[in-house]
Chain A
Amino acid sequence: MNTVSMPGRRIQLVCPAGNLPSLRAAVDGGADAVYMGLRDNTNARAFGGLNFDLKSAREGVQYAHAHGAKVLMAINTYPQAATWTRWTDAIDTAVTLGIDAVIVADPGLMAYARKRHPGLRLHLSVQGSATNYEAINFYREHFDVQRAVLPRVLSLEQVEQVVRNTPVEIEVFGFGSLCVMVEGRCALSSYVTGEAPNLAGVCSPAKAVRWEPHADGLEARLDGMLIDKYAPGEHAAYPTVCKGRFKAGDDVYYAIEEPASLNAMELLPRLVAMGIAAIKIEGRQRSPSYVATVTRVWRAAIDEVQRTGTIAPHPECEHALRRVAEGQTHTLGAYHRPWK
Chain B
Amino acid sequence: MKLSLGPLLYYWPRAAVLTFYEQIALSAVSTVYLGEIVCSRRHELRRTDWLDLARDLAAAGKEVVLSTPVLIESESDLKAMRRVVDNGSCAVEANDMGAVRLLSGKGRFIAGPHLNVYNPHTLAFLAGLGAQRWVAPVEMTRDMLADMVKAAPAEMETEVFGYGRLPLAHSARCFTARRNNLPKDDCRFTCMEHPDGLALDTREGEPFIALNGVQTQSALVHTLCTELNAVEQMGVGVVRISPQSKFTLQVIKLFAARMEGVVSPAEAATELEGLAPAPLCNGYWYGKPGHDLIEARS
Contacts and interface: CB of A to CB of B under 8 A. Distances in A.
B74 interface: yes
Interface in B145-173: 147-148, 151, 166, 168-173
A209 B5 CA distance: 37
B59 to A, nearest CB: 32
A190 B218 CA distance: 11
A246 B200 contact: yes
B290 A135 contact: no
B148 to A, nearest CB: 6
Interface stretch (B14-22, B120-128, B224-232): B120-128
B101 A141 contact: yes
A293 to B, nearest CB: 29
A120 interface: no
Interface in A95-110: 105-109
B98 interface: yes
Interface stretch (B26-34, B111-119, B244-252, B255-263): B111-119
B216 A256 contact: yes
A107 B122 contact: yes
Interface stretch (A56-64, A225-233, A304-312): A225-233
Contacts of A132: 72-73, 77-78, 96, 98
Interface centre among B73, B99, B291 (most CB of A within 10 A): B73
Interface string A77-111: 01111101000000000000000000001111101
A192 B98 contact: no
Contact of B144 (A80, A129, A244): A80
Interface of chain B, main secondary structure: mixed
A81 B148 contact: yes
B116 A129 contact: yes
Interface residues of A, number: 70
Contacts of A340: 172-174, 183-185
Given A181-B170, A190-B139, A191-B166, A79 B101 contact: no
Given A134-B78, A191-B290, 5 more contacts: A190-B139, A190-B289, A191-B166, A253-B179, A256-B173
A198 interface: yes
Interface in B24-54: none
Given A188-B168, A192-B291, A247-B201, A257 B121 contact: no
A130 B75 CA distance: 14
Interface of A: 78-82, 84, 105-109, 111-112, 128-135, 137-139, 141-142, 153-155, 158, 161, 180-182, 184-188, 190-194, 196, 198-199, 223, 225-229, 241-242, 244-248, 252-253, 255-257, 334, 337-340
Contacts of A82: 143-144, 147
B74 A161 contact: yes
B287 interface: yes
Nearest to A130: B97
Interface string B205-245: 11011010000101000000000000000000000000000
Given A81-B144, A153-B73, A188-B209, A134 B118 contact: no
- State the main secondary structure of chain A at its contact with B: mixed
Contact of A228 (B101, B203, B283): B203
For this complex, into which size category does the number of interface residues on chain B fall? Answer: 35 or more
A138 B98 contact: yes
Nearest to A251: B179
List the 10 shortest-distance A-B pairs measured between CB atoms, nearest first: A108-B121, A134-B98, A81-B147, A153-B172, A138-B101, A108-B122, A191-B290, A135-B98, A78-B118, A135-B97
A271 B199 CA distance: 39
A187 B200 contact: no
Contacts of B168: 186-188, 191
Interface string B261-287: 000000000000000000000011001
A247 B116 contact: no
Given A81-B151, A109-B121, A187-B169, A241 B200 contact: no
Contacts of A242: 169
19 contacts: A79-B121, A80-B118, A134-B72, A134-B99, A135-B96, A142-B125, A153-B71, A154-B73, A181-B216, A182-B171, A184-B116, A191-B218, A191-B290, A192-B290, A198-B139, A223-B289, A247-B202, A256-B175, A256-B178
Contacts of B185: 337, 340
Which of A182, A229, A338 has the most B CB atoms < 10 Å from its CB? A182
Contact of B200 (A79, A228, A255): A255
